[in-house]
Amino acid sequence: MENLGRHIEALLQDGDCVVLPGFGAFIAHVAPACYVDDERVFLPPKRSLAFNGELRTDDGLLASRLAQQAGIGFGEARAAVDVLVGQLRDTLSIDGAARLEGIGRLRQDMAGNVTFEPDEAGLVAPSLYGLKALTVYDLTAIEQKAASAASVHAEPKKFITKSPRTIDIHVGRQSLRRIASVAAAVLLLIVFALPVSDGGQTDVASLGITALSSEPAVPAAQPAPSALNVAAPEEPVAEETPAEPVEPAAPAVVRPSRIYHVIAGSLPSKSGAEAVIQKYVNKGFEKATAVEGDGRVRISIASFNDKAEGEAYVNELRKDEAFKNVWLLSVKVR
């Protein structure tokens, strides 16, 4: 049933109805966009399918596609369609259900009534491609969150905290280093500014500090003028070693996460794909190639890393009547 489902899906991309002779018809319609109140989500429009068992007159679409794809006559293609429909009937009679790939599932009850369950993803529609669900957020909740964040940033940072018995002063590491550097500089200045005694010792008594001794204090001798001009020894300056030149890093290669292919047609298998590709190459599409996926072989005549460029290219191609059905396929790069 896979090939039959793929043929129906391909025909419904350009039309709205495909008839299985003597069995029924699949009808496509566009479901409009809707809003789900409980989830606060706008769902985009999509194409959905329905089955009508009363429409059984052959419209020739399925046979024409088989004849074109297989390269056979219309009469032979119509006989092949009858075989496929017969296989579908047999599957429903034996198993009670049959799945058409890309379309949905058919079920048959004991009375012979056929019901249809379409795929939830719906049909691929080039005009609706890329539309996604849109979530709506409550404006009141957003405003409250913004106000809360603003109040947190506006609160001044506290450097002093108080408790009933203690006062804590919070000092950062950088400030602590600066305080220590200033204190060391002041201490060094005091040491070198002190007068020197006759014995070569620094005269601490000039600071007004009284020694704890039973002997009377002896007044200190006045320092010589040259003693006040003692300069601090200069630290040796290390020679700078020239830094080795650093080569600039090579720019990182950014790989695209998706490739957008311009699809001009599809085939049920690889059979005949090379001939179709060569036909487009002869028309000037030198990058024409086959893209496989989901059980189908699609013919890509151009590819882009940027979605906007691909859409612009498709819109330009559609101005030509021969390329009015081209569409853009997004493929994730592995």
Specify the length of the chain in residues. 334
Residue 282 lies in a domain: yes
Residue 183 lies in a domain: no
CATH of the domain at 271: 3.30.70.1070
Question: Over 80: is that where the pLDDT of 43 sits?
Answer: no
Q: What is the pLDDT of residue 211?
A: 45
Q: Three-state SS for 324?
A: coil
Residue 179 lies in a domain: no
Q: Judge residue 102's burial from the number of C-beta atoms within 10 Å of its C-beta, 0-12 exposed, 13-18 middle, 19 or more buried.
A: buried
Question: Over 70: is that where the pLDDT of 207 sits?
Answer: no
Q: Which of 135, 155, 190 is the last residue of a domain?
A: 135
pLDDT in tens, 238-271: 555 555 666 666 666 567 788 999 998 877 777 7
Query: For the chain, what percent of residues have pLDDT higher than 90?
Result: 14
Q: Which of 104, 135, 166 is the last residue of a domain?
A: 135
Closest CA to 78 of 318, 70, 238: 70
Closest CA to 301 of 271, 273, 321, 333: 273
Mean pLDDT of 73-86: 90
Residue 119 lies in a domain: yes
Residue 204 lies in a domain: no
Residue 31 lies in a domain: yes
Q: What is the pLDDT of residue 289?
A: 92
DSSP 154-195: HSPPPSEEE-SS-EEE---HHHHHHHHHHHHHHHHHHHHHS-
Residue 239 lies in a domain: no
Closest CA to 306 of 252, 271, 235, 258: 258
Question: Over 80: is that where the pLDDT of 212 sits?
Answer: no
Q: What is the number of structural domains in the chain?
A: 2
More reliable by pLDDT, 168 or 224: 168
State which residues form the domain around 315: 258-332
Q: For the chain, give the mean pLDDT.
A: 76
Chain center to CA of 75 = 50
Q: What token pair was written down for 256? A: 């695209």
Q: Which of 135, 152, 167 is the last residue of a domain?
A: 135
pLDDT in tens, 294-315: 777 889 999 999 999 999 999 9
Residue 198 lies in a domain: no
Q: How far apart are the first and last CA of the chain?
A: 30
More reliable by pLDDT, 226 or 123: 123
Q: Cβ–Cβ contacts within 10 Å for residue 104, how many?
A: 20
DSSP 192-239: HHS-B-TTS-B-GGGGTPPP--SSPPPPPPPPPGGGGGPPPPPPPPPP
pLDDT classification of 151: cutoffs 50, 70, 90: low
Mean pLDDT of 64-83: 89
Question: Are the C-beta atoms of residues 290 and 299 closer than 8 Å to each other?
Answer: yes
Question: Over 80: is that where the pLDDT of 318 sits?
Answer: yes
